Each structure stands twice: as C-alpha cells, then as structure tokens.
Chains A and B, each alone.
Chain A
Amino acid sequence: MKQTISVLVENQAGVLNRITGLFSRRAFNIESLAVGPTDDPTISRITIIVDSGNNMVDQVEKQLNKLVDVIKVRTLEENNLIGRELMILKVNATNKTRQDIMTICSIYGAKVDDISPSSMTLELSDTPERLDTFQTMMRPFSILEVVRTGVIAVQKGSGKI
C-alpha cells in the first residue's frame, strides 16, 4: 500500500543525506521524494511516498523521529489528502502532429512552455496517476524527455502537521 509521509526537517547541510541514508540502511523503499522550503526559512519539508505495510510505515516514522534534524513526522491519511506532482515533458512535434498534441493538452489542462519546429515542451501539474496517463497519451508522438518532481502533499482541511 502506498503511504505519504510528510517530514519537517532543519534546513541544514547533510540532512537529506541522513534521511536517504536511513531509508537504504533500514531497507525501506522510497517511491518518491520531494524536498522544498517552507514558510519558515529554517525548516524544509520533505514528502516521501513509500510502498509498504502499516508495520513498516510505523518503523519508518519512528526511525525518522530518531534523527536529531527531524522536527516532525506525519503519515497523511491517504483518502483525505491533496497530492500533486509537476511534470515537464518534451515531445516530437511536427506540423502534422502539433494539433493532436494540443488537443490532448487541453483535455488534461497541460501548458505549452516552449515550441520549436520539431518539438514541444509541455508542463502539467496533477496527481501522479493523471501524469502517468498523460505520459501514455504522449508516447505515440515519441517523447524526447520527461522530468517529474515527485509528489508533494498536504492533508485536506484546516489542520497542519
């Protein structure tokens, strides 16, 4: 089962290293990991998706909590969260195919960031599942490259971690 763990950490050198090191040492699998600043410049927020049972997630939480640089750990409720990922996708596009690509983009709400005689660069922010299907739709046009950020997530409602 996929679970989303949100971690507040000290914004300091070496912290990410300690966290990823912990995952490999304890044999926890990371499916996705995203780091960024928060509104407090001394704190960063890491969103980690793991695919494992409840027992494992409990251990992940506890082990993360043991790191001195980790301020807070929370596993988000899977059916009550907003999770988004950003994708930038570069695809082959010629005069023949450009219109078809545009149609798919408008269905998904993707934005065109750049265009050249032979390619288009598209941007889409959505759930990872929708990004997956968008990517599948683009494959017949021949994808040049894909970059994804990993998921960031918050719990719905007024609560915070």
Chain B
Amino acid sequence: MTGAQALVKSLKLQKVEHIFGYAGATICPIMDVLSAMPEMGYTLVRTEQNAGHMASGYARISGKVGVCLVTSGPGATNLITGIATAYMDSIPIVAITGQVPSHLLGRDIFQEVDITGAVAPFIKHSYLVKDANDLPRVVAEAFHIAATGRPGPVLIDIPVDVQTQEIKKFSCPDEVSIRGYKPSIRGNDLQIKRVVQAIARSRQPLICAGGGVWLAHAQKELLELAERCHIPVVKTMMGISVLPTDHPLNLGMIGAHGNHCANKALAKSDLLIMVGTRAADRALVNPTDIQQRMATIHIDVDPAEIGKNMTAAIPLVGDVKVILQQLLEKDVPVTDSDAWLAQLRDYRKAELSRVFPKREGYVFPGTVLRHLGRKLADDAVVCVDVGQNQIFTCKHLPQKHGRLLTSGGLGTMGYALPAAVGAKVAAPDRQTLVVCGDGSFQMSMNELAAVQQAGMDVKIVLMRNNTLGMVHEIQKKAPYHGPYGVSLDGSPAFDTIAAAYGIPSITVNDEDTLDTQLDRFLSTPGCCLLICEVHPDMSTTD
C-alpha cells in the first residue's frame, strides 16, 4: 500500500464522501487513487481559495468535516484565505496540500512553499508528514482536532514522495489520544448553580447566541432555555438563524450593523448570557461598558475566549450543548420578565414594520429580502457575501428554520457562491440561495462553472449597485472626503456572463413587479441569476 492509498483509506475511515480540490503535479498520486473510487464525490473548484469556502459550506450544512485537496506552491498559497476564513468562524475543515519531494524541502525548488509555516497564525493545527506510515494516525488526529472542542481548520502537508512511499502496515489507532489536546466538555457544577441563581434574580435577562450554538448543534437546547425562562434572544452574525424571525423571543442581530431593537435590549438588560460567542468587536462594540453595567455569563468551549475581549462575572467553559443540558436539568426558574418582554416586543414590532425607502428605477435591498424570505422553503440555506448586501440580509431577511451562512469573522468577499456549492453538495435537496454584491460576485463568479458542471440548483441574488457599497458608505462620512476607488465601472453585463455559462437571469428594477419576478426566479429550474438594480447611495441604515 502506498502513502496515497493509505491517505484515501484513512479519509474513508473518517466517512469522507466528498472532496473539493484542484489538481497539480504534487497531488497526482492521490488523484490517481481517487480516480478509481467513483463513490468519492469530487468538485473541481475554479480557484483554490474557493475549495476552502466550499469545504466550509459543506461542513456547516452537513455537520461533518469538510475536506479540500490542492497542490503545492501556488495551490497552497491560494488556499490560505479559505483557511483563514474557516479559522475565524471556527469551521471544521481538513485541508490536504501536496508538497515537493521531502529530500528537496528547503531548497526553493519549483512550487515549494512552507505552507505549514505560512498558515500557522490562523490554523488550529497542521502536519508536515515525512513518513507515510504516520498518515493513518495523522489523518485520524486531524479530523479529531478539526471537529472537537472549538472546531477549526487543520492542514496536512504531504510531500509527493511520501504519497508514493510503500508503507509497512496500515495501522490506525482506534481512538485518538493527544496528550496536549483535551477539550473541556462538561461545565463546572458550581458555576452552573451560580448561573441558575443569576437567572432567578434577573428581571431583564438577555441571551446572546453566537455561531458556537450551531457548532455545538445546540439550537434546540438554546430555544428551550429561552422559552422555559422567558428570556429574549439576540444573535451575533454567526448565530443569526438559530431562531425564526417570527419567534416572540427573537430580537434580531446585535452589533454595529445590527437591528435597532437588539441593540436597545442589550443596552437595557440586567443580565447578559452569552452562549457560544467570543464577544468580538462587531457584536459587542463596547465590552468594558457592558461588563460594568450588567451581570454577565459567558458560556464557551474555548477557555481563551473568556476574559479575552470581556471579563464575564460567571465564566462557564465547556461544550455549549452539554452546558445548556446541564442547566435544563436544574430547575432553571421562569424569570419575572413580563414587563421587559412587553417593552421589547414593541421595539421589535416597530422594526419589522419599518417602511423602506423607494426610488424610481431601483429596488431597495431590504424590500427584496423581505419578499424573498417569505417565499423560501422552511429549511432554505442562504449564503450571503460581504458588504451592504450582507448587512441588509442579516438585518432584514426573514428567517424560518433554515440557515444563513456568511463569513462573519474575516468578512471575506466572494465567500457566498462557493459556500453555497458546498452546502448544496451536503444537502442536494435543500433550497440553496446566494445573496451577493456586484463586487463580491466578481471575486468568485468563476465558480458558476462548478455550479454548472454539477448541474446545481443554486439561486443567486445579485445586488447590483455598481460600487463597493459598504466602503462607499463609509467614505461618505467624516473624516473621509467621499467615495474613491470603489466604482465598479467596467463590470460586465451580468446577464451576459450568466448566459455564457448557460445560466438564465432576470433583472428587477421595479418594486411593483418584484413579487412576480421573485416567483419566476425561484421557479426557474436549475441555477438562475436575479440581478437587482440597487441605487449606489442606499445606506444600510436606511
């Protein structure tokens, strides 16, 4: 058995069913083994960064580890943004990179880069495998590390000669045991008790749910805690779809770009329960102020997150799902929050019925998203890019019981389309949409080829404002002197681009026909592009 065969066998032992990759000389031995394995799915991405994003979309929808495979040198460096994006959002992926022959490492030969060194600051762990006999153990460890504790990307760099090396015996440990890696699972019982007491005392409690709730598959437990104790819920961008929009306890997204009522709730709460969130600057704009004004509970699997951005009165380290179960086993009290809830409900109602501006010849993104959201399947997956389109979607797209996937931590433009491809591979039967800006779309529209190669039904909503809108919006305000370097003049006719890939498109510039156009869009078989004409001066606060 060769190293390449051992690698692929190890991947199968990890129940890998699909690989997102891009071929090259230093992974040819692996590709050769895959070629004889029709049951292993394979997507050829159109640039390696998107292999990372596809693996991320796949991981987030399947709940499994996403896998990507790229060649050495430029293949590996192209993947870097994908890895950093997954790292910032704690998404479990395993990236396999080919490497130059091991005896030539360090000589700067053709397509050699030190990829384990390059990704060190934003990867959970990495391996440079120098002996093929280590591969079964390394793969088992890599998947274990990627998926457990606080999930994240892991890289395995495999020199091409290690891929062809004959191994003595395929031996893989039954159970992974790494002495330096023991994530906490159960919450400390004393702290659990303190949490129960704090909840009992509170009149204006608030749960802030982050991406960690999804990562721990703890949506049900979170909802149960909120409902049982009558605690309203705000979410960070990463936690956004944990509650349907019409749930009476849902207050929307907090933060600099968040919903007004969510931020109001945060300002007035007397107990903030942070669940699976790292209290980063976008969500908690002023953590020092918060920790002084209210009692705080911080539940997270990563002990380093507690006290990093904010010092919580009651820290609770462990798996979010397990901790919520521990809390639910105790008799968590119904809080005396009726007055608080009534007040918040008024804010929320005002926000949801807010009248959006209208402009002749254009559609307003919030209006499009409101209409669109109502028409989506209950469990639809919506992948949204970065920019105004992201903020509008997070604020205004009505959520049901589906998912909203976005690059929250790194804010990587171009994430949405490849993430949707990954999501669709993971769940071919789920309605899958992309919402993107015209800048973001041009960063990854080459993946329309991947969509078409697989004949995927992915619907793409493009907010065409002919500008890098989010930056344009910032530049319009002091201390800046106006938009510069953000005009997207020179962009292609997107309908023609779509047509070149064999994809139909629909353009909307009139809110009166919006409903019929959306129906047409959603009922078009296969991939379809909806081009929404958006005025460049529209602001996310409109």
Where the two chains meet, the residues of A that have a C-beta atom closer than 8 Å to any C-beta of B are 9-10, 13-14, 17-18, 21, 25, 55, 58-59, 62-63, 65-71
Contacts and interface: CB of A to CB of B under 8 A. Distances in A.
B492 interface: no
B120 interface: yes
Nearest to B126: A14
Which residue of B125, B145, B179, B308 has the most chain A CB atoms within 10 A of its CB atom? Answer: B179
Interface stretch (B230-238, B299-307, B403-411): B299-307
A14 B127 CA distance: 10
B180 A62 contact: no
B307 A68 contact: no
Most chain B Cβ neighbours within 10 Å, of A13, A17, A67, A68: A68
Nearest to B122: A25
A17 B117 CA distance: 8
A18 B155 CA distance: 14
Nearest to A9: B180
B116 interface: yes
B307 A21 contact: no
A112 B446 CA distance: 71
B304 A21 contact: no
B128 A14 contact: yes
Interface string B78-120: 0000000000000000000000000000000000000011001
Q: How large, as a class, is the contact surface on chain B? A: 10 to 19
Contact of B181 (A21, A25, A68): A68
13 contacts: A9-B180, A10-B180, A13-B128, A25-B121, A59-B304, A59-B307, A62-B304, A62-B307, A65-B303, A65-B304, A68-B180, A68-B181, A71-B179
Contacts of B500: none
A21 B118 CA distance: 11
A21 B120 contact: yes
B304 A63 contact: yes
Given A67-B180, A68-B178, A69-B180, A62 B120 contact: no
Contacts of B117: 14, 17
Given A14-B116, A68-B178, A59 B308 contact: yes
A59 B303 CA distance: 9
A69 B117 CA distance: 15
